[in-house]
A and B are shown apart, each in its own frame.
Chain A
Amino acid sequence: PPSQDGDVERHLSLQLQGALSGGPAREEAEEAEEEAGAAAAAAAAAAFLCPAAGCGQTFSTSESYEHHYALLHREVCASCKRSFPSAHLLDTHLLEWHDSLFRLMAERRDMYQCLVESCAEKFKSSKDRKDHLIKVHQYPADFRFDKPVKSKSTKTMTPPSRDHSVPMDVNIEACERSPGDAMETGPSETAADQAPQPGMENTPVSPPSVTQLPRPRIPPSICFGQGATRGFRSRKKRV
């Protein structure tokens, strides 16, 4: 246009829009909520109790409760209790660690899907995938959500570490409260689940035999409430 005053106005508004969180409507709502929250807090100490089994944490605001729930109880592996930041990462984890056919299939074709959801590539091994993540997607070599499921001896079972060389792991307290929650926690199932099952048929597309699967507590296709722990489900053949 003949003038760029409009651009100046746009940038002024960006810079001066401090202290807001998602538009005026939301701000008002939050203020109202804050007031209500303060009143409620005066009446009863802890307003929000996390309903997830074995959690029992309390929260003073609905926001912090919502955030906690989303972080810890939305995408959780039923077998090893690890929680994941996204459905894609949980699916990948379930497939690779709790699908007994996975190893067999991975021998025949590339099965390790890229952790970047928009990337369709698959790899022969998690090592190849890791190289791809680092090379193509510029992921850090120690990408936190690509760590193998460890056997019983887990870091999180050890007392809070003073070791500054491993400062990335910050899950101590949650473990104290609910040992199963930590992302770094190893599987609660035995390692046998992860090992290839020697006696199984090696047709990659056949649905897994139910008896040999770790049994999820809840049917895999069903989610309760805001989301629930998910167990293994067959990803290979869905009609």
Chain B
Amino acid sequence: MLSPASAASSGLAGRRRWGRGCTVEELRARRREREAALRSARRLQQLVSKRLLREDELIEDVCVGTDSGTTAPVSEQEVAELLSNAHKGTEERIKSLRRLRWGLQHKETQQTFIRLEGSMRVLIGLFTSNLADLQMEAARCLHELSHAQDPEVVEACLPATSYLLTYLSGHSTALMELCLYTLGNLAVETKVVKKQLLPQGIIPVLASCMQSPHLAVQEGAGYALSQLLQSKEAAEEIIPLVLGSGLSQHMLRLVCSDLEQGMGVAVEFAWCLHYIICSRVNNSLLVSQRTLPTLGQLLVALASTMTTTTPAEGLELLVCPVVRCVSNLLAEDEPCSGELQAQAECLLRAVFVFIRSFLPRHLFIVQECLWLLNNLTADDPALCSALLSPDLFPSLLQLLHCQKASVLVLTVLCNVAAKGPAHCQALHQKAGLPFLLGALALSDDQAVNQVLELAHLLFLHWPEAAIGFVDHSGLQALERHRDNLLLREKVEALIRIASQLAAPPQDCPLEASAEDL
């Protein structure tokens, strides 16, 4: 039941501009394109993204303000000229760097830059200079480079990491923010992390950034940490270090902090917690820090604001990792669900608020919620009863015909049915035969497999259900799946059981046939 951390390896992230000039259609097309790429990457276990901080007006400034060619790659000679310091005033040098930064959005220029002798040295020189504006512009150039897809370009930034980290102990919020996102982007390359960032003390530095009073710095630290924590090696090298520094408690605090202002902060640290929890490095520590009830409380609070006001933009991005954290902690072997006892039913209701509010736009939240519902109901008869209440249960049943949700809905119903005769009787009454027959008509093998499981539990605990099932031509519905090799055995066993139960009382012991399944 634990979700795998999305493994990071080679860069998938590409560069896209998100300027104000894009039309909605373009944005949609872009989103679809990205989504397709991410989905295929997900299958390969390579979910890697980088975040780009860029100021719109600057882009427009360069775009509009200078003549043609601004969007074209910059030639080697021009890169060299832009970097040269001789005979230039600060204003002129800032302009040169701006032009360079604009060029560095192109792969070609990135390659030209890293191959040009001494270029990184000069850029770092500007970055560490005491000319404030020049320094910022150089930092933005480094940020562009960090956003490159090519690992070679990212590795070329290695000499800058000690300075990027040094400035995180400074006082300039704008520079810190830029350094944090640059480091977060660089952290995608495992080599950079192992070779430089960890030895240079990135974890303690990020820990101090988390204490910053500035939301932008907190969010940047969260982003950088989440990038570190989702790498493949995180479980061995990074997560123990992060837990050892006591960061999980601060993360929890920031996830639950002022959501009206710091939604971005909460999102970043919620993902951090998720990556830590699903690594299972030391979940008993997180349990001891009351992570489960605290996040459960957060979900309840979020749901209650959602019922009264329109949900904040992007709330789903927070709900998703928090729901996962709670689900994963519930799935831990040690019994920590007891901690949730008092609020469990509130949480159950919160889950339904999310399901209703996020449908149909954010189906992925519904999936996460159903999974949480599954973990909540797995060992808790009282919650199973609560689930059957008339204000919740119909919403659950409705999800059966939602393609991505049907298996999960049936799994939750199996949890209920497994609790024994009383629950099966209620289930039989409330869901009824039409539901079971309708579920059997689903085209998804996995779903049908789950229906067979459910039917078996129902018949076993509440034989009346079997009688009704046979009377309503349930056996014929089962027959349709007989040709399916994957399901055949179960189908046949269930037909046998149902027929026996529906037949006038004989000596056939129920348990014996049940074992066939």
State the A residues within 8 Å of B (CB): 1-26, 34, 63-64, 66-68, 70-72, 74-75, 83, 85-89, 116-119, 136-140, 143-145, 160, 162, 164, 167-171, 173-174, 181-183, 226-227
Contacts and interface: CB of A to CB of B under 8 A. Distances in A.
Contacts of A83: 130
B354 to A, nearest CB: 12
A71 B170 CA distance: 8
Contacts of B84: 164
A19 B56 contact: yes
B128 interface: yes
A71 B159 CA distance: 21
B170 A85 contact: yes
A16 to B, nearest CB: 6
Nearest to B86: A162
Interface in B128-148: 128-136
B321 A10 contact: yes
B162 interface: yes
A133 B344 CA distance: 52
Contact of B195 (A4, A138, A143): A138
B425 interface: no
B89 interface: yes
Contacts of B215: 22-23, 25-26
B34 A85 contact: no
Given A137-B200, A170-B129, A6 B321 contact: yes
Contacts of B169: 85-89, 117
Question: Which residue of B6, B51, B162, B324 has the most chain A CB atoms within 10 A of its CB atom?
Answer: B162
A141 B172 CA distance: 26
Interface residues of B, number: 101
Given A21-B177, A71-B135, A118 B204 contact: yes
Contact of A85 (B118, B166, B320): B166
Contact of A23 (B49, B133, B262): B262
Contacts of B39: 8
A12 B362 CA distance: 13
Given A67-B136, A160-B86, A19 B19 contact: yes
B324 A1 contact: yes
B50 to A, nearest CB: 7
B368 interface: yes
A4 B121 CA distance: 42
A143 B263 CA distance: 37
B201 A116 contact: yes
B116 interface: no
Contacts of A86: 166-167, 169-170
Main SS class of interface, B: helix
B199 A64 contact: no
Interface in B251-290: 261-265, 271
A72 B130 contact: yes
Contacts, number: 237
Given A16-B34, A17-B18, A227-B171, A168 B128 contact: yes
Nearest to A89: B166
A86 B176 CA distance: 12
Interface stretch (B63-71, B310-318, B486-494): B310-318
Given A18-B19, A71-B175, A173-B131, 11 more contacts: A19-B20, A21-B216, A64-B133, A87-B169, A116-B200, A118-B204, A137-B201, A138-B199, A138-B200, A160-B86, A167-B121
Nearest to A168: B125
A139 to B, nearest CB: 5
Contact of B18 (A8, A19, A34, A72): A19
B35 A145 contact: no
A74 B327 contact: no
B458 interface: no
A9 B52 CA distance: 17
Interface string B341-366: 00000000000000000000011110
The 4 closest A-B pairs by CB, nearest first: A22-B216, A18-B18, A118-B204, A86-B169
Question: Which residue of A22, A66, A227 has the most chain B CB atoms within 10 A of its CB atom?
Answer: A22
Interface in B40-88: 42, 47-57, 59, 83-87
Given A15-B50, A66-B173, A117 B132 contact: no
B47 A11 contact: yes
Contacts of A22: 177, 215-216, 219-220, 264
Contact of B118 (A26, A138, A167): A167
Question: Which residue of B52, B59, B371 has the most chain A CB atoms within 10 A of its CB atom?
Answer: B52
Contacts of A138: 162, 195-196, 199-200
B186 interface: no
B305 interface: no
A3 B34 contact: no
B117 to A, nearest CB: 10
Contact of B171 (A70, A139, A183): A70
